[in-house]
Structure 1
Amino acid sequence: MKSEFFSYNSRLGIHLPRLSKDWPSYSSLEQEKVLLEWERVRGTIPDRIQEIEVEIERLQAELAQEENFDRSCMINGEISERASEINDLWIWYRTNPEKTQRGMM
């Protein structure tokens, strides 16, 4: 997706808003474009979380079989990072901006 308002976040695996000015500074049309695209992106977050959960389960199974302490620590670190990604994705999922009301002139 190419958008002036979003950029791909490789850590989370989704596009995130990339706003260059304060939200009320955008026109109604620009805000509508951003909100529409955000709803599309937001709808992909539960699937992305599920993908990461599957990866965590795989890592946990690998950890259960691992006998090398250093490798176990590395796997634990990977699990922690994936859990952090899930946490950040839920925060983004709950982000629900609204269109700014503009006064009539």
Structure 2
Amino acid sequence: MDKTIFTFNERLGIHIPVLSKDWDEYNKEKQNAILLQWEKIRGRIPDRISELEREINRKQAELDNEDNFPRSCLLNSQISDLASIINDLWLWYRLNQSVSMKGHQ
């Protein structure tokens, strides 16, 4: 399979599909190969989310004991960024579930 279809997204910490043409322009064999690769990636998304949730929990624990206002602001910002990443990962996980299901019909 053409590995260039999946590009590593630094922010999300996973490979995401970057299709160079419409889905229907790929032949069935290529579609199946893409779906197989995506299912492997997609299956790791919950683990990635768990990692980020642990990081949020660590930062929240730090925040609970932080008296320095600028440091508190920084921790809040970092927690917000991590939560945004989790939200985006869930969107990828759910959005592409329908694509994966369609490919198996």
> What are structure 2's unaligned runs of at least 5 residues?
none
Aligned to 1:14: 14
* Identical amino acids, percent of aligned pairs: 56
**Structure 1 residue runs of 4 or more that deviate by more than 2 Å after TM superposition:** none
Aligned to 1:89, the other structure's residue is in SS state helix
Kindly indicate whether structure 1 or structure 2 has the higher relative contact order, using CA contacts under 8 Å at least 6 residues apart. Answer: 1
Q: What are the superposed Cα offsets for residues 33-67 of structure 1, whole Å, 9 maximum, x if unpaired?
A: 11000000000001000000000000001111111
Aligned to 1:82, the other structure's residue is in SS state helix
Letter in 1 for 2:31: Q
> What are structure 1's unaligned runs of at least 5 residues?
none
TM-score of the aligned structures, taking structure 1 as reference length: 0.89
TM-score of the aligned structures, taking structure 2 as reference length: 0.89
Cα RMSD, aligned residues only: 1.4
- How many aligned residue pairs are there? 99
Structure 1 or 2: larger helix share?
A: 2
Aligned to 1:69: 69
The higher radius of gyration belongs to 1
Q: What are the superposed Cα offsets for residues 61-103 of structure 1, whole Å, 9 maximum, x if unpaired?
A: 111111111111110000000000110111111122133x9xx
